């Protein structure tokens, strides 16, 4: 048996290294000198493997000796070594660094370090919302514009679509000048985008005709929402509620996270992008549930409210469900709880025109009193 073959066997069966050269010589029928050399080389290679070294050069013998001396000089027990990193300088000199178990950082400490680091580079918002005027009771002003289907192929350009959306926001805020608005409630999504993007289809796979690419529609929608939020937050704090639709169930969650991250340091804006498909807002005596309306039966929504949020349900005598999906206004009442399908400002595409579907393009905003519940709504017609 050759020396290299014996070394390979001893590396695979290190138990023989403790038995000595005489036993190895007898067991593998080699000269005792070969057994001594094989044991020495096998021990060396195994030590290098344990320390992360692969080179068999004499330089490694030297750095191993230096490493062991370092442990002795610094009073470090080998069992306390967590990891050792060896490297070679440009001049070919061997170097190493040692990390002990006491030097290891906990997950909590690491998370804190990351948070502190990212905080240094996160944008800071200095401009605050206009202060709430005391005296008369304030109200929450809900501007609900579902189903804009951003990116859909219609007779309108994307510039016109965005201009009409912002014009509706401006108009509804202008009409509310006499109100003491404590905060805005802004549901977004509800088929905010027309398709799931590159698939050019709804979430379930119904083909769609988009006027722009999937990247452009995603960025465009997020930019449009931030433009609206930036305008509203100068008037009062904004509570954004992200509602996924049947056209954009997946992408709306991504957009919600982008918008939430955008306003992470802004005390004027709260973004609810939780993983629940139904979102809830409590304001004084009011309990509001937001859902797209394509999955649940309207008659069962009040029971869903009571089941999912029993404590809020008990606290709030005024309860409503706000849905999108139908592109037209429709209100039903079940056991004193209104289920309201809210109209859309979206223009018809070719398919809807062919099918003869038509609805008045209407934007609505609801006035919520902390003590009296819904006190009415304002609306604007898009032509």
pLDDT, one tens digit per residue, over 148-182 is 999 999 989 999 999 999 999 999 999 999 999 99
Are 344 and 222 part of one and the same domain? yes
Are 297 and 238 part of one and the same domain? yes
pLDDT tens profile 254-274: 999 999 999 999 999 999 999
Q: Is the pLDDT of residue 278 over 60?
A: yes
Q: Is the pLDDT of residue 126 over 60?
A: no
pLDDT tens profile 15-58: 788 778 888 888 888 888 888 888 888 887 776 666 555 544 44
**Residue 110: pLDDT band with limits 50, 70, 90:** low
Q: Is 110 part of a structural domain of the chain?
A: no
The confidence score (pLDDT) of residue 56 equals 47
Domain with 186, as residue range(s), is 135-381
| Of 67 and 299, the one with more pLDDT | 299
The confidence score (pLDDT) of residue 2 equals 81
What CATH number does the domain containing 323 carry?
3.60.21.10
Are 187 and 336 part of one and the same domain? yes
Q: How many domains does the chain have?
A: 2
Q: Is 66 part of a structural domain of the chain?
A: yes
pTM over 0.85: no
The confidence score (pLDDT) of residue 124 equals 59
Residue ending a domain, among 103, 120, 151, is 103
Are 139 and 267 part of one and the same domain? yes
Q: Is 29 part of a structural domain of the chain?
A: yes
Are 301 and 161 part of one and the same domain? yes
SS (H, E, C) the chain: CCHHHHHHHHHHCHHHHHCCHHHHHHHHCCCHHHHHHHHHHHHHHHHHHHCCCCCCCHHHHHHHHHHHHHHHHCCCCHHHEEEEEEEECCCCCEEEEEEEHHHCCCHHHHHHHHHHHHHHHCCCCCCCCCCCCCCCCCEEEEEECCCCCECECCCCCHHHHHHHHHHHHHHHHHHCCCCCEEEEEEEEECCCECCCCCCCECCCCCECCECCCHHHHHHHHHHHHHHHHHHHCCCCCEEEEEECCCCCHHHHHHHHHHHHHHCCCCCCEEEECCCCCCEEEEECCEEEEECCCCCCCHHHHHHHHHHHCHHHHHHCCEEEEEECCCCCCEEEEECCEEEEECCCCCCCCHHHHHHCCCCCCEEEEEEEECCCEEEEEEEEECC
Q: Is 126 part of a structural domain of the chain?
A: no
Are 149 and 260 part of one and the same domain? yes
Q: How large a percentage of the chain has pLDDT more than 90?
A: 58
The confidence score (pLDDT) of residue 22 equals 84
The confidence score (pLDDT) of residue 112 equals 67
Q: Is 10 part of a structural domain of the chain?
A: yes
């Amino acid at each position: 048996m050759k020396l290299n073959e014996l070394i390979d066997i001893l590396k695979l069966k290190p138990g023989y290294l403790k038995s000595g050269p005489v036993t190895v010589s007898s067991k593998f029928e080699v000269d005792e000198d070969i057994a001594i050399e094989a044991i020495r080389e096998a021990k060396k290679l195994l030590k290098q493997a344990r320390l992360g070294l692969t080179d068999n050069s004499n330089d490694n013998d030297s750095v191993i000796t230096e490493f062991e001396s370092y442990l002795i000089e610094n009073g470090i027990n080998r069992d306390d070594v967590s990891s050792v990193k060896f490297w070679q300088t440009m001049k070919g000199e061997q170097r190493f660094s040692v990390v002990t178990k006491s030097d290891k950082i906990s997950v909590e400490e690491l998370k804190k370090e990351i948070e502190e680091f990212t905080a240094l580079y996160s944008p800071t918002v200095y401009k605050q919302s206009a202060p709430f005027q005391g005296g008369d009771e304030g109200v929450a002003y809900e501007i609900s514009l579902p189903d804009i289907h951003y990116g859909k192929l219609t007779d309108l350009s994307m510039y016109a679509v965005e201009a009409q959306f912002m014009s509706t926001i401006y108009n509804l805020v202008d009409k509310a000048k006499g109100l003491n608005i404590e905060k805005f409630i802004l549901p977004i999504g509800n088929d905010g985008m027309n398709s799931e993007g590159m698939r050019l289809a709804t979430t379930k796979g119904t083909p769609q005709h988009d006027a722009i690419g999937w990247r452009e529609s995603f960025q465009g929608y997020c930019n449009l929402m931030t433009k609206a939020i930036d305008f509203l937050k100068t008037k009062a704090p904004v509570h954004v509620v992200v509602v996924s639709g049947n056209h954009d169930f997946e992408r709306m969650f991504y957009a919600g996270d982008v918008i939430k991250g955008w306003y992470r340091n802004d005390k004027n804006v709260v973004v609810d992008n939780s993983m629940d498909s139904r979102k809830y807002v409590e304001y004084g005596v009011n309990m509001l549930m937001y859902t797209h309306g394509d999955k649940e039966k309207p008659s069962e929504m009040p029971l869903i409210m009571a089941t999912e949020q029993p404590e809020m349900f008990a606290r709030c005598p005024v309860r409503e469900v706000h849905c999108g999906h139908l592109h037209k206004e429709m209100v039903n009442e079940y056991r004193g709880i209104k289920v309201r399908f809210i109209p859309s400002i979206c223009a018809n595409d070719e398919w809807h025109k062919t099918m003869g579907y038509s609805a008045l393009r209407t934007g609505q905003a609801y006035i919520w009193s902390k003590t009296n519940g819904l006190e009415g709504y304002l609306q604007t017609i898009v032509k």
